[in-house]
Amino acid sequence: KFAAEGSPHAIHFPRPMMDTDTVDFSFSGLKTAALYWLQDHTLSAMKLDAHTLP
């Protein structure tokens, strides 16, 4: 529900190797960025509560 109603531009995560024509890619930068974002943000900071979560 949150994904369907959310903004695709709300949180910026890196998209590595977008300038190459190969299919080689790595999720390591994305995983690190997601980890740091989650460490910096809590449910209360996102204005969510237990009643709005699935």
Rg (CA), the chain: 15
7 — pLDDT class (breaks 50, 70, 90): confident
| Residue-wise pLDDT tens digits, 32-48 | 888 888 888 766 556 65
- For residues 2 and 49, which has the higher predicted lDDT (pLDDT)? 2
Overall pTM > 0.75: no
Contacts of 15 (CB under 8 A, 6+ apart): 30
As a whole number, the mean pLDDT across the chain is 74
Gap between the Cα atoms of 52 and 54, Å rounded: 7
